Structure 1
């Protein structure tokens, strides 16, 4: 008898990292009737595909016992049934509550206080130090051990919590209660930091909806009234004043203006809009009044789709587990089984002495205690994260640090990522006036304007120190440009099309304008008293280090690819300068689709961007990297951030990842090598318990010292090779400050 395939969404609270997601997924898959599970830490959601006979209440209870309160959501993302109000109020509390009220802060704080008290006893009353450290260890370890037990019952017996519990108990058995208490405290602090990062990411994505106004102005019966955006029906005509954000997607019915579409497309220059043109919710109207016919309901507008795309991308992205988690799954049970086998097999099979072989089994368990691994692997990750942070390379945890080094395709946004993110004057054409006169008059007309074109012209005029005469009766001409009088002469500065309507361009002038437009530049033509005086071209230029940065990515075996919402002409002009493959004219869901297609082809995808329009693709990639100066949403959706905005930093973050992974492999080899040596010698009776334990302690010191060497990591042009990066020196060229926004 066939079953219907159903999809049910849940809100899952308390998840901080990919390890949490893995445990939740495992527990859900153990429920009869569940066929597939997708978990998103950032969205705090879980989507379950199941048959008709699956008990969703039992699933929620099972996950709740792991320490992750779970409630069912309806199709709109709201809590279903009687849990609706409670779940939404609680979700708001999660976003708004200060970090120190988070559930995981209390055990970390209690562990820290107990550890401080035990340390004080160690100084003031040494005889009480050991009991004090044991008590401090118990305070921190009990919640970890409880989660280990619940995870084991839910199908994850060898989780990071199990590994921590075994390591702590083993450390106590060899008389290292102090070290065990410190390791447990640091583990709890790390969980708190992961929780803060996850909460901030959830809050930033939720804040996207704030880009759309709550109300819209609707003309009815000759009057204008404000109505809630949710009440706008398709076909309603709304009035959008200069400077307002558009409350809905629609088509211009009347009026002309320039609209800043950066939140949606990322394009640096506002686009001219006139009757029949499409406009998007969340974009900003310029100087003209627009009447817009609504074409999409509030839940289907552009910003709402971006929010959904981010959530869907997070839900569909398989969690990357911690390195130590993957290792623990095999290592911990293997050591336990080997110790039990050594203790029991010889007496049973060969008549060996029970006390002798139990002693050897205990010795093996203690020797195999993963203290060195638990300490050294996080030490390498922490050192790598710290070394990167000091140089403006931020990564949200060890899983991100691991994945960055495996990237094979780096998809980069154009505006604000490969380019400076603001237009600059590139050419001043002089036709019937001198070059400095053209720039001076244009700056006079644009004085006081905040339009990106005006800002670029004023910056060029300031840089070249041209005079700035006063302009009288200056006013914006919606959708065309600006006009005014300077010295009693009428001037107009605007698009070539608008200028041509006032004065015909000669053959030479038209050819010069067209030539610049073919290179992706935007032009403003200056008309003086009915004659073409000159023209000014602006373009968002590539960062000075962009070419070098892309070359270094290629040298590291990574294919760069430009994904941009800008026009094809502008994108190809920049792409030609930088020698990068271009895909232009993309909406946010187009970028996400390309990232998903690359993933399906087997590529490990890194996505680099700085805008809200990049958020869905950042979430869909294996690693999302936000450029410095980007929006809060991009920074929080991304897994990593390049704070200084240098394209060369992308190769550096890859090199840092590869250096850390090489260090971890070295640490594991040293720790396991020494353990294997003493496991053999102990079983053979060559060494006793204490020499083996001392050797294990020595291994801990060695691998920790090796990990600390990463603190000396320095970026360099050769860093992408994967060699130990601490061996490199700072580059001697001057690119270090290039491209900072």
Structure 2
């Protein structure tokens, strides 16, 4: 059978460890040459199969033969993360401009005749093909949605436990039949395990955990240790049950975000307010958000202002003030006033859905340590079986030792050797670390990124929109012929209606001081020099110092004052009212509120901090000196990439932090590329990781999370191997037997999983 290559996704129930995943992967690949790739994710409980012309039932049937339930979810679609949030995302101000911004002469913004048309806020995703709704509508399997005691593994464990209790009671009254009674009790639990072992062997996985358990239990039966064998089977099932509960907890931790989005929304339609399913909201729909309501979709406020509590999504403890034009995210809570919001992303493509999709995809990408453990376990299990056979056979054959005693010890070694705890030690910690980071706005594309981040020794930052806010603000008002209030009043008046960033800064400063602005007449731009107009019957010019110097004389002392502001990286515009030099306004793109603290946190960890910017040297050095970091200015994209290469050649592990769009060469060249302040938009496609909330401190937090996760993995591996070594020695010495052996394996698995789950409580 042949056909086009396609990719199908399946939900797999009962798959709670890496060993299960390996068996399923091997079995599905054995279907035939139509299968080109299989990706199994224990954390997500899913399997993605790339194939040519197979029926879904053929794949699910193969999985069911192994004893697992499989359900076809549909053809897999490209991730929502690949779609841009809006056309403006690529030029939203969150990037360094790779050309010289000489602030000595560059107030001259072009107002294009002050043609101030309203902006179109429609999101580009309106015209983009919708992505698969799998992440929004299939967040768990049928079994996952049930309480643990109603799940299939729990029912089997309870039945095996009841059979063992019954065997003890009946055996007390008819001890002569206890061998048969306990054998029957053991078979209640062993038969399903043995069936899985046989199915695994048929489809390519000979040395499975179930194989070890089946051989050990049957061996114990033959040497008469039936009570112990029945207890060992029960303990094994309890261990599997606990492992499943822990796996589901990890699986559901990030999916819990989906519950933050309300099920319904209040929609404006034909002058009416109607209730509508939030999952069906279209881009461009207007929704009404009342005080206390959760916001049902990503959008832009088109009227109203209110404090919005973003803690459920971002972890921010303080609500943010939002006004017309600001973005809001699905799942956040409106605190004070009614907001009208235009939806900018469908339910399948909103912030919450993107975070869930990003983490689920990341959890399918294995870390180097995890890949090593997988390769190690392929040889480990056969080695344990060989060791068990040698212990059982060699002493009786070579030294005439008691067969029963040494077969018993050999069987105990098989149980000790179960690699559950070792195999799960890394993926459990990686999954918990990725989930914990995502809930706090730290998105990483897989375990390899999470593992590598902790080794970073140098971080290179862009300036504009990364270390700084990305928008200028008024920092100084200079009074020459008028007082400061009048200077700001006339400057803001002549800038009315402009959308230029410097004009917006001046207008905001006037609004913050509650200055009433007179009307401007005959407003016009002066082609790259400044802007002019008539205010209160007087000609007003706001322009660069060079442009003003052609109209009037600027004193030496005033020029020195302007030069001092320029040295601080500030743009200065001078104001003339008629023939009078009235004053000036200085503006600068200021560092982010947490930039100093974030850089200090990195430096305290011994990490080198570097600024790479296309901005002019004087501005860059002013900001760099203010923040206490190394500066490289006036750089083209290839220059930034060259510096990254030089750092790597000097044996530095380099993270590059930027917007992920115009710095793509440097991001790609770095060991880790981190998109900053772009949220979950197209920047994620370029970078290895993203800091969703635009905080410089989160770079240090990401590195800290990586180091915490790697420490957790080391603890898990030490615990898993340490317990096995201890019980291996005590078993050979005759101190411990079958019960302690399986208890050690089950206990180690539970301890390792519980230790990994501690990462879910990690806080920056």
Structure 2 CA distance for aligned equivalents of residues 123 and 188 of structure 1? 17
Is it true that 1:64 corresponds to 2:36 in the alignment?
Answer: yes
Distance 1:339-1:97 versus aligned 2 partners, 3 A rule: farther
Query: How much does 1:352 deviate?
Result: 6.0
Is it true that 1:455 corresponds to 2:504 in the alignment?
Answer: yes
Residue equivalent to 2:387 = 341
Number of residue pairs matched by the alignment: 511
Unaligned 5+ segments in structure 1 are: 1-10, 16-60, 72-88, 153-161, 195-318, 716-741
SS of 1:608's partner is strand
Paired residues of 2:458 and 2:653 also in contact (CA < 8 A): yes
Distance 1:321-1:393 versus aligned 2 partners, 3 A rule: closer
Query: How much does 1:645 deviate?
Result: 2.7
Is it true that 1:325 corresponds to 2:371 in the alignment?
Answer: yes
Query: How much does 1:451 deviate?
Result: 0.8
Query: How much does 1:455 deviate?
Result: 1.0
Distance 1:385-1:90 versus aligned 2 partners, 3 A rule: closer
Query: How much does 1:13 deviate?
Result: 7.8
Structure 2 CA distance for aligned equivalents of residues 184 and 90 of structure 1? 26
Residue by residue over 1:646-700, the C-alpha shift from the partner in whole angstroms, topping out at 9 and shown as x without a partner, is: 3223223322322222222222222221111111122233211122111222223
Instruction: Select the structure of larger CA radius of gyration.
Output: 2
Residue equivalent to 2:731 = 682
* Aligned equivalent of 2:513, options 464, 481, 502: 464
Residue equivalent to 1:409 = 458
Residue equivalent to 2:666 = 617
Residue equivalent to 1:725 = none
SS of 1:64's partner is strand
Query: How much does 1:583 deviate?
Result: 1.2
Structure 1 CA distance for aligned equivalents of residues 754 and 592 of structure 2? 39
Distance 1:500-1:138 versus aligned 2 partners, 3 A rule: farther
Residue equivalent to 1:626 = 675
Structure 1 CA distance for aligned equivalents of residues 193 and 522 of structure 2? 77
Q: Does 662-671 or 368-377 show the bigger shift?
A: 368-377
Paired residues of 2:148 and 2:245 also in contact (CA < 8 A): no
Structure 2 CA distance for aligned equivalents of residues 575 and 163 of structure 1? 58
Query: How much does 1:556 deviate?
Result: 0.7
Is it true that 1:119 corresponds to 2:146 in the alignment?
Answer: no
SS of 1:502's partner is coil
TM-score by length of 1: 0.58
Distance 1:115-1:430 versus aligned 2 partners, 3 A rule: closer
What is the Cα-based RMSD across aligned positions, in Å? Answer: 4.8
Residue by residue over 1:10-68, the C-alpha shift from the partner in whole angstroms, topping out at 9 and shown as x without a partner, is: x99899xxxxxxxxxxxxxxxxxxxxxxxxxxxxxxxxxxxxxxxxxxxxx89925677
Paired residues of 2:7 and 2:76 also in contact (CA < 8 A): no
SS of 1:562's partner is strand
Distance 1:492-1:535 versus aligned 2 partners, 3 A rule: same
* Aligned equivalent of 1:658, options 682, 694, 707: 707
Paired residues of 1:384 and 1:656 also in contact (CA < 8 A): yes
Residue equivalent to 1:599 = 648
Paired residues of 2:472 and 2:587 also in contact (CA < 8 A): yes
Is it true that 1:418 corresponds to 2:467 in the alignment?
Answer: yes
Paired residues of 2:157 and 2:237 also in contact (CA < 8 A): no
| Larger relative contact order, structure 1 or 2 (CA cutoff 8 Å, min sep 6) | 2
SS of 2:464's partner is helix
SS of 1:612's partner is coil
Is it true that 1:393 corresponds to 2:442 in the alignment?
Answer: yes
Distance 1:595-1:178 versus aligned 2 partners, 3 A rule: farther
Paired residues of 2:459 and 2:609 also in contact (CA < 8 A): yes
Distance 1:359-1:544 versus aligned 2 partners, 3 A rule: same
Query: How much does 1:474 deviate?
Result: 1.3
Distance 1:142-1:572 versus aligned 2 partners, 3 A rule: farther
TM-score by length of 2: 0.57
Unaligned 5+ segments in structure 2 are: 10-32, 40-48, 53-74, 83-128, 164-186, 218-231, 255-364
Structure 1 CA distance for aligned equivalents of residues 506 and 512 of structure 2? 10
Structure 1 CA distance for aligned equivalents of residues 248 and 588 of structure 2? 50
Paired residues of 2:679 and 2:692 also in contact (CA < 8 A): no
Residue equivalent to 1:429 = 478
Paired residues of 2:601 and 2:700 also in contact (CA < 8 A): yes
Paired residues of 1:525 and 1:535 also in contact (CA < 8 A): yes
Q: Does 349-358 or 633-642 show the bigger shift?
A: 349-358
Residue by residue over 1:389-440, the C-alpha shift from the partner in whole angstroms, topping out at 9 and shown as x without a partner, is: 4443343443332222111111111112211221111122222222211111
Residue by residue over 1:476-533, the C-alpha shift from the partner in whole angstroms, topping out at 9 and shown as x without a partner, is: 2332222110011111212223333333433333333233223222222222224432
Query: How much does 1:461 deviate?
Result: 1.2
Residue equivalent to 1:707 = 756
Structure 2 CA distance for aligned equivalents of residues 484 and 167 of structure 1? 87
